[in-house]
Amino acid sequence: MGDIFSMNGSAIVGMAGKDSVAIATDLRYGNSYQTIGTNMRKVFRLSDNLMVALGGLATDIQTLSAKLRFRVNLYELEEKRPMSPKVATRMLSQLLYKHRFGPFFVSPIVAGLSKEGEPWVASMDSIGAVSDVDAYYSEGTAAETLMGACETYWKEDMTPEQLGGTVERVIQAGMGRDAFSGWGAEVWLLTSEGLEVREVKTRQD
Amino acid sequence: MATEAMAGVPSKFRKTGTTIVGVLFEGGVALCSDTRATAGNIVVDKNCLKQHYIADNVWCLGAGTAADTEAVTMQISHELRLLQFETGRVVPVTAAITAMKRHLWKYQGHVSAALICGGVDSTGAHLSSVWPHGSTDSLPFLTMGSGCLAALSVLERGWRRGLTKEEGVSLGIEAVKAGIFNDMGSGSNVDVVIIDGEGTERRRNTVKPGTESRGADVL
């Protein structure tokens, strides 16, 4: 695929459980079929209870994550309160739509916990069309296969332990059927206790 | 509309494949939509909302690129709120339609939002469609989106002058169901907004035809 979205390759999945949310991403940084790096982080913790994962073009992932961090920090300094995941979703959406006719080539997933501890996951396209009705979203070159894995593995009201295990199985299964993502993965599990980041062993091919 | 199916290149932007329908009845207007959102051949949202708030007395249905329908309706909603503060009156439906067509015309069709706008004001019930290039139609029954052909056949057969509220609503629902079953870009449930002199009533997921097996009710 000569598509700009799939030049670098990525697999990201976000899922909500009971009082917890998790994001899993791959670690590959590639140039079409050539693998350049195996330690590219695609999740960003923008606040204590807020994570954003970005799939798509690597340069835009990095530019956008910096822009987002700047905006969230400024908001929290001005407002003297953490940014809720709902507000972060809106903010990212309008930031993307601002570039309607020259977009950032990214597919974001926003996940976090509200002040009341309610889990939140949402995804959007590269120009900010938000979808927030489901409990799981997948993006990147492996989006289709990840979605299939989510449909079968997801259960209602998973405990944090179950949720962590589920996203790990989802990323393993979904990534394995995508040529452009893989080479290691990480799971970010957010609960009221805090954030747990875990590296996952995957196939190295 | 053929935009998404053209050249066989699936778009990376999210579209609301869509069947949207507007029906005028005696004293009001019913707006009905499906709830499927697609990106290429993938169903990205099985229960999305295509109804957009413009004002208490004006609602809009959107088809086309999801981000555009959302952005346009939100901008026009804000514009109309300011107009309402300035004039201190219930905003006329035509003001919403004019604001939409001016915005879309300015962008020469690049903002791909196809809208059906309906509402009630001091001059009665109104229904208009607004096309991505900024043209408008004002008709007693309207449909847009990729399922418009299926929906239109139902509307042409079923619409008549002097429909009651419930007759109008069920005609709209039947038209959207035709889209859900016969157009692959449309699917899942039917949402309805009804605006009449009494106020606005919203019926979310009023029928879930996608979960029924195909039976005599469809044929």
pLDDT tens for each residue of B103-137 = 999 999 999 999 999 999 999 999 999 999 999 99
Does B181 or B13 have the greater pLDDT score? Answer: B181
How many angstroms separate the CA atoms of A194 and A160, rounded? 11
Q: What is the CATH classification number for the domain harbouring B136?
A: 3.60.20.10
Contact A144 B42 (CB under 8 A): yes
Shortest Cα distance, chain A CAs vs residue B4, angstroms: 16
Contact A125 B66 (CB under 8 A): yes
Shortest Cα distance, chain A CAs vs residue B170, angstroms: 26
- B107-112: long-range pairs with CB below 8 Å, 24+: B108/B133, B109/B133, B109/B134, B110/A101, B111/A100, B111/B65, B111/B68, B111/B71, B111/B72, B112/B3, B112/B64, B112/B65, B112/B68
Q: B202 with B51: CB under 8 angstroms?
A: yes
| Reported confidence tier of residue A62, pLDDT bands at 50, 70, 90 | very high
DSSP state for residue B6 in the 8-state scheme: G
B218 has pLDDT over 60: no
**Residue A205 in domain:** no
Q: Collect all residues of chain B within an 8 Å Cβ-Cβ radius of residue A146.
A: none
Count of Cβ atoms closer than 10 Å to residue B111 Cβ:
22
**Residue B174 in domain:** yes
Of B39, B48, B110, the CB nearest to A125: B39
**Residue A28 in domain:** yes
Tokens of A186: 């990480």
Shortest Cα distance, chain A CAs vs residue B71, angstroms: 8
How many angstroms separate the CA atoms of B157 and B168, rounded? 13
**Residue B215 in domain:** no
Of A3, A127, A144, the CB nearest to B67: A127
Per the structure, the complete domain to which residue A124 belongs is given by 4-200
Check CB contact of B43 with chain A, cutoff 8 Å.
Answer: no
User: Domain total for chain A?
Assistant: 1
- Secondary structure of B192-217 in the HEC alphabet? EEEEECCEEEEEEEEECHHHCCCCCC
Average pLDDT over residues B15-24: 90
Contact A127 B47 (CB under 8 A): no
B11 has pLDDT over 70: no
Collect all residues with Cβ–Cβ distance below 8 Å to A66 and sequence separation of at least 6: none
Average pLDDT over residues B82-91: 97
Contact A97 B71 (CB under 8 A): yes
User: Which of the residues of B are catalytic?
Assistant: 18
Contact A125 B37 (CB under 8 A): no
Tokens of B52: 């957009």
Q: A6 with A178: CB under 8 angstroms?
A: no
Q: What is the CATH classification number for the domain harbouring A167?
A: 3.60.20.10
Pairs across A and B, CB distance < 8 A: 50
User: Which residue, among B44, B49, B191, would best test binding to A if mutated, counting the most A CBs under 10 Å from its CB?
Assistant: B44
pLDDT tens for each residue of A7-52 = 999 999 999 999 999 999 999 999 999 999 999 999 999 999 999 9
Quote ipTM for the complex: 0.91
Q: A141 with A130: CB under 8 angstroms?
A: no
Q: Collect all residues of chain B within an 8 Å Cβ-Cβ radius of residue A14.
A: none
Q: Collect all residues of chain B within an 8 Å Cβ-Cβ radius of residue A93.
A: 67
Per the structure, the complete domain to which residue B41 belongs is given by 2-7+14-209
DSSP state for residue A158 in the 8-state scheme: -
Chain A: residue nearest B65 by CA? A129
Check CB contact of B47 with chain A, cutoff 8 Å.
Answer: yes
How many angstroms separate the CA atoms of B98 and B21, rounded? 20
Contact A127 B39 (CB under 8 A): no
Average pLDDT over residues B147-170: 98
- Residue B50's identity, in one-letter code, is K
Predicted structure pTM score:
0.91
Backbone φ and ψ of A35, nearest 5°: -90, 125
Tokens of A82: 């953490």
**Residue B85 in domain:** yes
Q: B117 with B193: CB under 8 angstroms?
A: no
Contact B65 A127 (CB under 8 A): yes
Q: Collect all residues of chain A within an 8 Å Cβ-Cβ radius of residue B37.
A: 129, 131
pLDDT for res B216: 47
pLDDT tens for each residue of A123-163 = 999 999 999 999 999 999 999 999 999 999 999 999 999 99
Of A5, A127, A133, the CB nearest to B47: A133
User: Domain total for chain B?
Assistant: 1
Collect all residues with Cβ–Cβ distance below 8 Å to B213 and sequence separation of at least 6: none
**Residue A72 in domain:** yes
User: Which residue, among A1, A125, A132, A150, would best test binding to B if mutated, counting the most B CBs under 10 Å from its CB?
Assistant: A125
User: Which residue, among B4, B9, B14, B46, would best test binding to A if mutated, counting the most A CBs under 10 Å from its CB?
Assistant: B14
The proportion of chain B whose per-residue pLDDT surpasses 70, expressed as a percent, equals: 90
Contact B42 A3 (CB under 8 A): no
Contact B45 A3 (CB under 8 A): no
Count of Cβ atoms closer than 10 Å to residue B185 Cβ:
24
Helix (H) or strand (E) holding B15: strand B15-16
